Chain A
């Protein structure tokens, strides 16, 4: 059974930093690209960043460029998102998502980030 377990969310002050983690199991982690998708309270889905299976390629939404860094450790089956310079508008539930051959086929339950201004 595929499981994606996010952690690391919490309350942080504006301008602060935080690192999210996603522990993956139930599939061969090193064979799949992964993404982070966020959802602000009461709002829609917003893609944040993606990383290739071998970590060679990374892509970011415009709002994440220069502030967020996606990475992965295939030996630990773990995906990360380092977030710096956090703003109130970054407050959201952050989902870890497996990018299968047919799109986003598995989603975690999310970890909540709250940025206080």
Chain B
């Protein structure tokens, strides 16, 4: 079955750039979504259609997809960016939605 692989954790200093990857067998035409979740809160969408930002999401958040990897990039990282980040796709071959395992971003 399709699996999305994310690094479990990463850390970045304030003002620097965080790059979170999401690896899949072959993204092909699959749309990739990214969600941010802070402790004790429900997830919030930060990227849809691999690179578009929902309204209210800062321009510092960007996304891309190439080959077997989707990437969430957070520029000029702030303390408030510290959270868990999840990638997600819809696998039309089996009609299931898949989440990556999540990446815990720590701001130093």
Q: What is A's interface to B at a CB cutoff of 8 Å?
A: 35, 37, 44-47, 50, 59-62, 95, 102-105, 107-110
**B97:A50 contact, CB within 8 angstroms:** yes
Chain B, interface SS category: strand
**A45:B96 contact, CB within 8 angstroms:** no
For A104, list chain B residues within 8 Å (CB): 33, 35, 43, 45, 88
For A109, list chain B residues within 8 Å (CB): 42
Chain A, interface SS category: strand
Select from chain B the residue with minimum beta-carbon distance to A35. Answer: B97
For A35, list chain B residues within 8 Å (CB): 97
**B45:A103 contact, CB within 8 angstroms:** yes
What is the CB-to-nearest-CB distance from B59 to chain A, in angstroms, rounded to a whole number? Answer: 17
What is the CB-to-nearest-CB distance from B31 to chain A, in angstroms, rounded to a whole number? Answer: 8
* A102 contact from B43, B54, B100, Cβ within 8 A: B54
